[in-house]
Amino acid sequence: MMEAQAVAPAVRTRPPILALPAEDEQTLDALFGDWERLSRTEHSMPPVSPLTFKLLRVDRDAPLAVAEVTEIVESDPILTARLLGLANSAIHMRGGKPITDVKSSIIRLGLYNAFEATFTQLFGLWVRHASRIPDDSLLDTLWLEYLITAFCAREIASALDDPDADSGISYTSALLHDVGTLALSWAEPKAMGRFIQAGYCRGTPLHAKFVEAHTRLGESLLKGWNAPERLAKVAATHHLPFARHDSPVTSIVQIADHLHDEVLDHELSDFRAPEDYPMGCSGEVPETVSAALAALGLHHRIDSIIERVARQSARIEQLARLPS
């Protein structure tokens, strides 16, 4: 009888790191230095829907929370259709009867899941319709990256015994933390696409300028869109050294933003991961992330957090289908 052969787990094919053309480097160097102009209304990308931040101001623990979320969803026909579709999907239906109204959809999904799905769909609609990115593969990669970051952030927050580490705020902060990257891609979609495919030129002065530009631009845009202050703060600080974080949510998002490959490659994940672009702009795990893990006491729990996110891969894939 033959001995059983150990089968190595499949590992995602990493996209090749391409050289950035010299003309793109000049274009992007000027773009990153001009982030303040892109933050002004007349030069910036269209804002997210006001419903996005109206939703964030709902007290999910209040008696009227279901009614408030129902009213927000019903004010947008596309959002209504998306939430009904989620409630009637195989993941959530489980042999139940089809649902045809928003309130019943929210009850079936559960308020917190419905809140998360509604916020995600609102932001996803904006990503699809406000973006000038011509490459669907790049857009899909960025969106999947933000979703995985958001799910990781929520799981990290849930693992902490800290009232300031709210799982809902951590999720939304993670989903929005790279708004500045989307705004830069809106301004120079082709050059930014090649920059991302070149691994964000990590380790170069251009990458350092990009980090400065996308964090400050993201903060400025979110403030201009009347987002809650703490969301803008995370966008501004998620690349800063740990000692300068004034909120555990920033540390949570910073850690979550370095878990993409581990989640995608986990044996329990079922992702159809994109292969044309690298995921994440920071490369190797920096000392700031190691410091955050140590300070939050998460070193021995990070593997279980990654596993929990990997187990939700089907749900993440469902949310990753950008609205058309």
| Total domains in the fold of the chain | 2
Domain membership flag for residue 12: no
Same-domain status, 115 and 76:
yes
Q: Look up the domain containing 72 and give its range.
A: 47-130
Same-domain status, 236 and 194:
yes
The residue from 106, 130, 154 where one domain ends is: 130
The mean pLDDT value for 30-39 works out to 95
pLDDT value at position 1?
Answer: 35
Same-domain status, 56 and 168:
no
Same-domain status, 150 and 214:
yes
Least confident segment among 4-8, 56-60, 159-163, 264-268: 4-8
- What pLDDT digit, counting tens, does each position of 102-140 carry? 999 999 988 888 888 889 988 988 888 888 888 888 888
Distance CA 293, CA 152 (A): 13
Same-domain status, 261 and 313:
yes
Domain membership flag for residue 256: yes
Handedness of CA 270, 139, 20, 220 (dihedral sign): negative
- What pLDDT digit, counting tens, does each position of 36-95 carry? 999 997 888 899 888 888 888 888 888 889 999 999 999 989 889 988 988 888 777 766
pLDDT value at position 8?
Answer: 41
- Neighbouring residues of 321: CB distance < 8 A, sequence distance ≥ 6: none
Domain membership flag for residue 13: no
Domain membership flag for residue 171: yes
Q: Which amino acid belongs to residue 108?
A: R
Token reading at 239: 């690349």
**Would you give the end-to-end CA distance of the chain in angstroms?**
55
Q: Which segments within 86-206 are labelled E, that is strand?
A: none
The residue from 100, 130, 160 where one domain ends is: 130
Same-domain status, 139 and 99:
no
Least confident segment among 256-260, 288-292, 303-307, 311-315: 288-292
Distance CA 104, CA 177 (A): 32
Output the average pLDDT for the chain. 86
Same-domain status, 40 and 178:
yes
The residue from 130, 151, 184 where one domain ends is: 130
The mean pLDDT value for 15-30 works out to 88
Same-domain status, 146 and 120:
no
Same-domain status, 30 and 145:
yes
Distance CA 75, CA 154 (A): 27
The mean pLDDT value for 227-252 works out to 85
Q: 165-170: long-range contacts (C-beta < 8 A, 24 or more apart)?
A: 165/248, 165/249, 165/252, 166/249, 168/60, 168/112, 168/115, 168/116, 169/230, 169/231, 169/249, 170/249, 170/252, 170/253, 170/256
Cα-based distances in Å from 122 to 73, 75, 158, 265, 267: 9, 12, 24, 28, 31
pLDDT value at position 135?
Answer: 85
Same-domain status, 228 and 163:
yes
Distance CA 225, CA 143 (A): 20
Environment class of residue 62 by beta-carbon count within 10 Å: exposed (0-12), middle (13-18) or buried (19+)?
exposed
Same-domain status, 187 and 40:
yes
Tell me which residue of 262, 52, 253, 78 sits closest to 171, measured CA to CA: 253
pLDDT value at position 207?
Answer: 95
pLDDT value at position 237?
Answer: 92
* DSSP 8-state class, residue 272: -
- What pLDDT digit, counting tens, does each position of 168-215 carry? 899 999 999 999 999 999 999 999 999 998 999 998 999 999 999 999
pLDDT value at position 284?
Answer: 62
Q: Residue 306 maps to which CATH number?
A: 1.10.3210.10
Same-domain status, 191 and 240:
yes
pLDDT value at position 322?
Answer: 61
Domain membership flag for residue 16: no
Asked if pLDDT for residue 6 goes beyond 60, the answer is: no
The mean pLDDT value for 298-323 works out to 86
In the chain, the percentage of residues whose pLDDT exceeds 70 is: 90
Q: Read off the pLDDT band of 296 (50, 70, 90).
A: confident
